[in-house]
């Protein structure tokens, strides 16, 4: 069987898991009950064996997908020579069901707009990444699939029957104009068939998303103008990827979608990476989603508390912990034949120095938006910063998680400087604590000197990938002005931007991650987030027209629904890597915000000391400046 392009999928979810729904009406990926759980449908990774849940016309059709306005409720409309029908797909959020912890469920409403129209339904669950083929049997209002430890119940007001093999179910039905039918898939337990109740659940789900979604009424918007709708869609994608109980952000809801077809760079991204932290906080807070930003702030503090500073893992499970061993599922052929298919991620054991800066920066950003830390939190943060002082000069695997030998990556050192810098700024503004500020300041100066002397190449006129390199670039160094290490107009920043444009960027606005060996065969495709870092760096540097042009170029690769994967094939323009990717959507929001700043927002630049919040434990503050909560951009306007 054939595979869909990634841009032909929409995504739905409930804060626990997600499903990818193809424009052809097929749910080809859905892990249950959680996004990091084994899949029930995985045709995305093996079109023949993976399993799917499809609804489509029996005759030739055209189709189009759209989201209901400012929601994650997806509509797929089919048009044939004889009629038109729409399938509405959604997963109810707990708030929309009246239950604090409802069982996971996928609702599919079939509506014939113009008929009659014949549809086929195929229900082929395959539990545990298709390692288990369940028995499918009839029940009162549908069918039930039963495995050794899994159970999925499909309720419907359509005549669905088990297949002759007993391992699937199907139906062919003809709908008349204005006729509506329901398919409701429950995991573990069924959802009783009740069309009136299902209509109410749909409305509550729509209401939930529209009440949550950013709504500026078209005036004084932080991301107004032509990028507004894509930024709002990106925030809705992020919300789908935020675990509703822990607040952890899933990097992507899929595993093993390849960075290049036929290659081996296929990873499981269904976990929470610390590297996303600071930019996630800013993106959520600036669009008014302070509860989610607050939850992520608390999660960052929890990460600091739960581990010895020397053993902080760069990636966590959405429920905490990092015990997800990387394994290969060799019974699946992989997306379009791209093996291996992996579950788990070996990056959990890597030493990545940049995570310390990203943790402290995320905490710092959250405090700027009104959060507060206690004296107990301070003790943990001080231990973390002390560890940076002791170990900043070690080699590590870096932000790109290379599988070659550790190196002295420049970006890792920049983030060590960031941990020290933000820790010092927070300590200087607080009373009641006694951190070793002089040692921190001395170390910050030492790190800065090392970066400028060993991380910048006069030959290349650019920051390089690692100490000792003279001519190897890394797009992560575009973050140097974004985290405030140097001013955007510094010649070394401008040189790094120009070198990136010359050697890592394509003519179509895309940016490859780095040059040099990473311990893996083959090459990867340009990354979306690095392309958006270039936009932000250009905007900060005052090169606004260039930034806007490149931003528009990157956005052309978004799917018709506004979704972005991890990477883009520079030859075909197809999206590559796991999909949709949180980092890409975070980059889109922050790129739009940076362009808004460059157009005249009153927002302070990243290298300017900014106000931060306080609570009773931080009541006595440095008298040299007034410390207040930094308002969101929408509040400033």
The predicted-structure confidence for 136-148, as pLDDT tens digits, reads as follows: 999 989 999 999 9
Where among 212, 244, 269 does a domain terminate?
Answer: 212
Band of residue 623 on the pLDDT scale cut at 50, 70, 90: very low
Q: Per the structure block, which two tokens stand in for 66?
A: 């759209």
Whether 173 and 314 share a structural domain: no
Determine the average pLDDT of the residues in 171-178: 96
Whether 430 and 528 share a structural domain: yes
Q: Are strands 456-457 and 342-343 parallel, antiparallel or unpaired?
A: unpaired
Whether 202 and 153 share a structural domain: yes
Residue 168 in any domain: the answer is: yes
Do residues 585 and 237 lie in contact, with contact meaning Cβ atoms separated by under 8 Å?
A: yes
Residue 132 in any domain: the answer is: yes
Band of residue 627 on the pLDDT scale cut at 50, 70, 90: very low
Three-state secondary structure readout of 74-139: EEEEEECCCCEEEEEEECCCHHHHCCCCCCCEEEEEEEEEECCEEEEEEEECCHHHHCECCEEEEE
* Helical H segments across 429-463, by residue range: 437-454
Residue 603 has pLDDT above 50, yes or no: no
Band of residue 285 on the pLDDT scale cut at 50, 70, 90: confident
Determine the average pLDDT of the residues in 275-300: 85
Comparison of pLDDT for 374 and 562, the residue scoring more: 562
Residue 50 in any domain: the answer is: yes
Residue 209 has pLDDT above 70, yes or no: yes
Determine the average pLDDT of the residues in 218-235: 81
- How many Cα atoms occupy the beta-carbon half-sphere of 94 within 13 Å? 11
Band of residue 181 on the pLDDT scale cut at 50, 70, 90: very high
The DSSP letter of residue 560 is: T
Residue 35 in any domain: the answer is: yes
Where among 148, 179, 212 does a domain terminate?
Answer: 212
Whether 549 and 407 share a structural domain: yes
Name the percent of the chain lying above pLDDT 70: 92
pLDDT of residue 97: 65
Residue 221 in any domain: the answer is: no
pLDDT of residue 629: 35
Residue 1 in any domain: the answer is: no
Whether 182 and 131 share a structural domain: yes
Whether 116 and 248 share a structural domain: no
* Tally of domains within the chain: 2
Residue span of the structural domain in which 121 resides:
6-212
Whether 245 and 180 share a structural domain: no
CA atoms of 349 and 97, how far apart (whole Å): 39
Long-range pairs of 210-213 with CB within 8 A, sequence gap ≥ 24: 210/69, 210/70, 210/71, 212/239, 212/289, 213/70, 213/71
pLDDT of residue 217: 65
pLDDT of residue 625: 30
Residue 615 has pLDDT above 50, yes or no: no
Nearest residue to 479 via CA among 421, 541, 565: 541
Band of residue 98 on the pLDDT scale cut at 50, 70, 90: low
Number of Cβ within a 10 Å radius of residue 631: 16
Residue 581 has pLDDT above 90, yes or no: yes
Comparison of pLDDT for 296 and 610, the residue scoring more: 296
Whether 126 and 271 share a structural domain: no
For the chain, give the mean pLDDT.
89
pLDDT of residue 224: 66
User: Residue 452 maps to which CATH number?
Assistant: 1.50.10.10
Residue 622 has pLDDT above 90, yes or no: no
Residue 219 in any domain: the answer is: no
Cβ within 8 Å of residue 468, ≥6 positions away: 408, 454
pLDDT of residue 110: 98
Whether 310 and 340 share a structural domain: yes
User: Residue 23 maps to which CATH number?
Assistant: 2.70.98.10
Residue 524 has pLDDT above 90, yes or no: no
Q: Per the structure block, which two tokens stand in for 406?
A: 């550790």
Whether 118 and 45 share a structural domain: yes
The predicted-structure confidence for 382-391, as pLDDT tens digits, reads as follows: 999 999 999 9
Stated as kind and residue range, the H or E segment containing 180 is strand 180-187
Residue 87 in any domain: the answer is: yes
Q: Per the structure block, which two tokens stand in for 409?
A: 């990556």
Residue 547 has pLDDT above 70, yes or no: yes
pLDDT of residue 365: 86
* Helix, strand, coil in percent for the chain, rounding step 5: 35, 20, 45
β-sheet bridge partners, residue 29: 20
Residue 204 has pLDDT above 60, yes or no: yes
CA angle 280, 590, 531 (to 5 degrees): 110
CA atoms of 340 and 335, how far apart (whole Å): 10
The predicted-structure confidence for 427-484, as pLDDT tens digits, reads as follows: 988 877 888 999 999 999 999 999 999 999 999 999 999 999 999 999 999 999 999 9
pLDDT of residue 119: 97
Whether 202 and 286 share a structural domain: no
Where among 154, 183, 212 does a domain terminate?
Answer: 212
Range from 284-293, 558-567, 609-618 that averages highest in pLDDT: 558-567
pLDDT of residue 306: 79
Whether 536 and 596 share a structural domain: yes
Residue 610 has pLDDT above 80, yes or no: no
């Amino acid at each position: 069987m054939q595979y869909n392009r990634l841009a032909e999928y929409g995504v739905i979810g409930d804060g626990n898991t997600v499903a990818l729904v193809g424009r052809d009406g097929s749910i080809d990926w859905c892990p249950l009950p959680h996004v990091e759980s084994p899949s029930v449908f995985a045709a995305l990774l093996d079109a023949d064996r993976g399993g799917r849940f499809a609804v489509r016309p029996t005759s030739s059709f055209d189709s189009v997908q759209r989201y209901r306005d400012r929601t994650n409720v997806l509509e797929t409309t089919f048009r044939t020579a004889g009629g038109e029908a729409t399938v509405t797909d959604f997963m109810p959020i707990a708030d929309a069901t009246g239950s604090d912890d409802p069982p996971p469920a996928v609702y599919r409403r079939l509506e014939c707009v113009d008929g009659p129209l014949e549809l086929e339904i195929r229900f082929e669950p395959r539990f545990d990444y298709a390692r288990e083929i369940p028995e499918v049997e009839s029940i009162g209002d549908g069918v039930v699939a039963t495995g050794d430890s899994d159970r999925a119940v499909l309720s419907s007001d359509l005549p669905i029957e088990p297949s002759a093999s007993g391992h699937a179910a199907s139906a062919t039905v003809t709908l008349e104009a204005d006729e509506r039918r329901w398919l409701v898939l429950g995991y573990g337990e069924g959802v009783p068939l009740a069309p009136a109740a299902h209509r109410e659940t749909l409305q509550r789900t729509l209401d939930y998303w529209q009440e949550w979604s950013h709504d500026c009424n078209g005036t004084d918007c932080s991301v107004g103008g032509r990028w507004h709708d894509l930024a709002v869609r990106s925030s809705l994608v992020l919300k789908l990827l935020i675990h509703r109980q822990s607040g952890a952000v899933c990097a992507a809801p899929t595993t093993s979608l390849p960075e290049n077809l036929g290659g081996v760079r296929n990873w499981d991204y269904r976990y929470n990476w610390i590297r996303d932290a600071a930019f996630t906080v800013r993106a959520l807070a600036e669009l008014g989603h302070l509860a989610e930003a607050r939850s992520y702030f608390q999660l960052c503090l929890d990460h600091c508390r739960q581990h010895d500073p020397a053993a902080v893992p760069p990636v966590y499970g959405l429920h905490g912990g990092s015990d997800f061993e990387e394994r290969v599922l060799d019974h699946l052929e992989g997306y379009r034949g791209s093996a291996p298919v992996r579950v788990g991620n070996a990056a959990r054991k890597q030493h990545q120095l940049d995570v310390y800066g990203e943790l402290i920066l995320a905490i710092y950003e959250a405090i700027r938006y009104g959060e507060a830390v206690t004296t107990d939190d301070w003790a943990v943060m001080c231990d973390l910063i002390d560890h940076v002082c002791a170990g900043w000069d070690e080699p590590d695997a870096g932000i790109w998680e290379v599988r070659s030998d550790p190196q002295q990556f420049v970006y890792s050192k920049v983030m060590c400087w960031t941990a020290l810098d933000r820790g010092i700024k927070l300590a200087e503004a607080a009373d009641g604590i006694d951190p070793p500020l002089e040692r921190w300041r001395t170390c910050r100066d030492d790190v800065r000197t090392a970066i400028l002397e060993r991380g910048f190449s006069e030959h290349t006129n650019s920051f390089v990938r690692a100490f000792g390199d003279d001519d190897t670039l890394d797009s992560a160094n575009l973050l140097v002005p974004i985290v405030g290490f140097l001013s955007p107009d510094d010649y070394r920043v401008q040189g790094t931007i120009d070198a990136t444009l010359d050697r890592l960027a394509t003519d179509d606005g895309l940016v490859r991650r780095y040059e040099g060996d990473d311990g893996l065969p083959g090459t990867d495709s340009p990354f979306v987030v690095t392309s958006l870092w270039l936009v932000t760096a250009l905007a900060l540097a005052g090169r606004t027209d260039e930034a806007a042009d490149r931003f528009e170029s990157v956005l052309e690769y978004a799917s018709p629904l506004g979704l972005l994967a991890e990477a883009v094939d520079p030859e075909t323009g197809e999206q590559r890597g796991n999909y949709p990717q949180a980092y890409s959507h975070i980059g889109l929001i922050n790129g739009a915000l940076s362009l808004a700043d460059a157009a005249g927002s009153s927002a302070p630049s990243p290298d300017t000391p900014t106000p931060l919040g306080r609570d009773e434990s931080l009541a006595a503050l440095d008298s040299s400046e007034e410390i207040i909560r930094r308002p969101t951009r929408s509040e400033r306007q």
